[in-house]
Structures are given as C-alpha cells and as structure tokens.
C-alpha cells in the first residue's frame, strides 16, 4: 500500500504517545468534525435528546411486567447505541461508530418483535435469553407471520425494512477486518501513514458527512417509532393506548 510508509526513528511509538491515545482527549478531532458538519451534529443531538426525554415521559403510563421492561430496555439500547455511535464518530473512531449502529438496529428490531405478542418472539427470547440470537431479529421482522403482526400493531412496512437491511451491510463490514474497515486505518491525505487512535482525515470528509447524516436520520426514525412501540404496550390498569394520529414507523432506507 502506497499509504504505508516506513517508520522513521522519530515516528516510533513510545509510552507517552500510547498514554495520550488511551487517556488523552480528542478535542482537536471533535473541533474538526464540528467545523465540517456542525449543524447536522447539532440536529442529531436535538433529536436524540427529545427522543429520550419523550421515551422517559411515556414510561409511567406503561404497566410494569417482565415483557414491558424488556421492550423498554431494548428501546434504551437503541437510543444509547445511536448516541454512542455518534460520539465515537465525532471523536475520530468511525469503525467503532459503525459497529454501534448494528446494535441500534438489532435493538429496535427486538423492541418491535417483543412488543407484539403475536410474533411469539418475546416468549422465545425469555425462555433462554443467553442463547437467543438477537442478531436474527433483523430478519425475523421480515418473516411473513411477524411482518403481518407488526404491520397490524405498529404499521410496520416490511418492504421498506428490506431496504434498511441492504444498508446494514455497511455496518456489518465495519464489524470485521474488512477492506472497508482497513481503509479507516489508513490516512488518505498527501502525507499518508497509518491511523493510530483517534483521527480526522480531511480526505474522508464526504464519508464523515454521510456518516453523521446517517446518525441524524436514524435518530429521527427512532424518535418516530418509539412512541408507537410504547403505545402498543399494556397500560397501567388498562389496554394498549390508542394509536390515533400515529403513522407507521419510518423504516425507509434513508433512516440509515
């Protein structure tokens, strides 16, 4: 690889450099991301804050059972994973950021499946939580019986979700030492070299902008679908809340 230059004596790693990578701050990298796409980052932060606050506001109305607690935990994981993904991204760790988006999608798929008893997924999950393949949730939602139950209860659009699955392949690549992920370990600027720790590579600006937009769009999709999932759960002293005025979850491909 042309970008891999032979290390010179002055470039050799030392303890202080590793200490800075592990214990230091990434302020310069964060500042570069804010300069590149500050408004989009701010929008994502606004949406994430509003989505989590709305999620918290709805919790008091939901009956507390093992099932509803599990659904709400998956919702928390989806929101927290999106926040963590954006954090990793703007701190110069795009591979870790991509990996966390896979967590987001698995968690929201599990939240939907477990919220609707007709899928039978919650009972299967609850029977052996340590062995249940949560990664399969991304495809379980597309199975005919499940898709029908989710459509009736949550307004789920299975064809739109199939488009989302195509986009998730990108995050799959970032969960492995793939050609795509290897590229994030190499500086594409004129001086070249390898990335060690946090990095903002100006040559990847377009990719960074797209990545921030994916997090913002995912946050907006969560903001839309979470009230629908919460509304489908049993109420304290009653049945699931009426879904009047709520459209189906935004599971279109642009959500990623």
Closest Cα to residue 229, out of 215, 243, 219?
Answer: 243
Identify whether the C-beta of residue 156 lies closer than 8 Å to the C-beta of residue 249.
Answer: yes
3-state secondary structure of 235: strand
Non-local CB neighbours of 134 within 8 Å, separated by 6+ positions:
106, 110, 125
User: Does the residue 117 lie in any domain?
Assistant: yes
Q: Measure the CA–CA gap between 66 and 17, rounded to whole angstroms.
A: 47
pLDDT tens-place values along the chain, 256 residues long: 455 455 455 578 999 999 999 999 999 999 999 999 999 999 999 999 999 999 999 999 999 999 999 999 999 999 999 999 999 999 999 989 988 999 999 999 999 999 999 999 999 999 999 999 999 999 999 999 999 999 999 999 999 898 888 777 777 777 777 777 788 888 887 777 888 899 999 999 999 999 999 999 999 999 999 999 999 999 987 766 544 333 444 444 344 4
What's the pLDDT at 151? 97
What's the pLDDT at 16? 93
Question: Residue 246: CA atoms inside 13 Å, Cβ hemisphere, count?
Answer: 23
3-state secondary structure of 186: strand
What's the pLDDT at 251? 45
User: Does the residue 154 lie in any domain?
Assistant: yes
Identify whether the C-beta of residue 48 lies closer than 8 Å to the C-beta of residue 219.
Answer: yes
User: Does the residue 218 lie in any domain?
Assistant: yes
User: Does the residue 178 lie in any domain?
Assistant: yes
Q: Measure the CA–CA gap between 166 and 217, rounded to whole angstroms.
A: 16
User: Does the residue 239 lie in any domain?
Assistant: yes
For the entire predicted model, the pTM comes to 0.86
User: Does the residue 26 lie in any domain?
Assistant: no
Q: Measure the CA–CA gap between 147 and 141, rounded to whole angstroms.
A: 6
Q: What total of structural domains would you count in the chain?
A: 1
Q: Measure the CA–CA gap between 125 and 195, rounded to whole angstroms.
A: 40
User: Does the residue 83 lie in any domain?
Assistant: yes
User: Does the residue 44 lie in any domain?
Assistant: no
| Domain extent for 98 | 57-255
């Amino acid at each position: 690889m042309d970008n891999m230059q032979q290390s010179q004596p002055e470039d050799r790693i030392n303890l202080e450099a590793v200490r800075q990578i592990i214990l230091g701050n990434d302020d310069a990298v964060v500042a570069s991301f804010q300069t590149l796409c500050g408004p989009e980052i701010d929008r994502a932060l606004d949406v994430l804050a509003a989505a989590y606050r709305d999620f918290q506001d709805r919790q008091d109305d939901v009956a507390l059972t093992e099932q509803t607690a599990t659904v709400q935990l998956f919702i928390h994981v989806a929101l927290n994973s999106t926040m963590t993904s954006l954090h990793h991204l703007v701190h110069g760790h795009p591979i870790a950021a991509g990996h966390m988006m896979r967590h987001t999608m698995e968690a929201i798929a599990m939240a939907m499946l477990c919220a609707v008893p007709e899928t039978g997924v919650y009972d299967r999950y609850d029977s052996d939580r340590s062995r249940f393949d949560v990664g399969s949730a991304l495809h379980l939602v597309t199975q005919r019986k499940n898709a029908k139950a989710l459509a009736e209860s949550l307004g789920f659009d299975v064809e739109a979700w199939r488009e989302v699955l195509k986009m998730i392949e990108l995050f799959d690549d970032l969960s492995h030492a793939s050609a795509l992920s290897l590229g994030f370990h190499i500086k594409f600027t004129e001086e070249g070299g390898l990335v060690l720790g946090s990095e903002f590579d100006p040559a990847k600006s377009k990719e960074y902008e797209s990545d921030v937009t994916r997090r913002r769009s995912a946050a907006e999709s969560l903001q839309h679908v979470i009230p629908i999932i919460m509304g489908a759960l049993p109420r304290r002293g009653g049945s699931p809340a009426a879904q009047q005025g709520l459209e189906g979850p935004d599971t279109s491909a642009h959500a990623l």
